[in-house]
Amino acid sequence: VLAIRISTSGWTCLGIAVGVTLLAHTWTGWVWHWILREFDQQPGLGWCIRIYLKVNIAKYLPGNVWHFYGRIWAAKTAGVPLGVATLSVLMEPPMMAVGALLLALISSPLASRIIQLPILFAVLILIHPWCLNPCLQYLAKLTGKKKSIESDEDQIIRVKRYPILPLLGELGFLGLRGSGFLLTLLALSPITPSQLPLLLSGFSVAWLLGLIVPGAPGGVGVFEATAVGLLEHDFAPAVVLSSVALYRLISIVSEVGGAALAWLNEPPSDRSSNQDQG
């Protein structure tokens, strides 16, 4: 690892990787806007992106739930019913998981697809409104006060149609995150076109495990261990270790930068209201 040197073009790749990763998080704020529209809510697109970028860094706090809580509270403060705010946030992780599975499936060899297809079909069924609505209602009762939800709304909150647009949006998010990882690896080692499917598949599986393994703030440790285990047989171990470490640093830098940009672009009225609440 200590022998690895980054060339001028490598630093350029790393800089682009930071930009692509920041774009991925900005894009997910847009997807959250789509999810809220599925519940007939019309918050501003810029507001959704700013809130997402501001609170996303909180996922590294112990518990791995504070970024969710931050968005729910911000949405409720902005006038979104508590139940809708909660469900819009709870819908995101399963759709991200589907996006990761889809990306892994597209880029995997046939033997791996035989294992991944049943899992993908099962998750696609789970996010159908027939299955999703009862699950979301149950989770909302666990994460929020039932009386508060009932007092905020006179009608039962339901997903009215299959969330195909948010699902495609989360697939785009994973594609951007995967591109950032490829650029990070490219900064350290050449990549051939034939290696791209392997890298995207390995990244998707590692990212998915980092998402679903409980108790790992931001997937720290889980993503890195999985990525190294999947890729060390096809790439030099030093390159893989350096790449996953650099990619984690790039992710944190992009998230901190996104939070700073969101704060700087926050309207003065919102900033003063936040200070009054504090």
Question: pLDDT (tens digit, 9 = 90+) per residue, 161-193?
Answer: 888 899 999 999 999 999 999 999 999 999 999
Cβ(63)–Cβ(44) below 8 Å: no
Q: CA–CA distance from 64 to each of 139, 218, 219, 220, 228 (Å)? A: 16, 7, 9, 10, 23
pLDDT band per the 50, 70, 90 thresholds, residue 271: low
Give the mean model confidence (pLDDT) for residues 219-237.
85
Sign of CA dihedral 64, 66, 67, 69: positive
- Percent of the chain scored above 90 by pLDDT? 38
**Burial letters 64-103, b for 16+ CB under 10 A, else e:** bebbbebbbebbbeeebbbbbbbbbbbbbebbbbbbbbbb
Helical (H) or strand (E) element with 275: helix 268-277
Average per-residue pLDDT in the chain? 83
Q: Which of residues 142 and 150 earns the better pLDDT score?
A: 142
Give the mean model confidence (pLDDT) for residues 231-240.
87
Tens digits of per-residue pLDDT, 11-38? 999 999 999 999 999 999 999 999 999 8
In this predicted structure, which of 1-15, 47-61, 255-269 has the lowest mean pLDDT? 1-15
Report the C-alpha gap between 218 and 61 in whole angstroms.
Answer: 8
SS3 194: helix
Q: Which of residues 217 and 154 earns the better pLDDT score?
A: 217
Helix, strand, coil percentages for the chain (3-state, nearest 5):
80, 0, 20
Quote the pLDDT of residue 105: 82
Tens digits of per-residue pLDDT, 72-84? 999 999 999 888 8
pTM above 0.75, yes or no: yes
Report the C-alpha gap between 68 and 85 in whole angstroms.
Answer: 10
Pull the structure tokens for residue 17. Answer: 């990787």
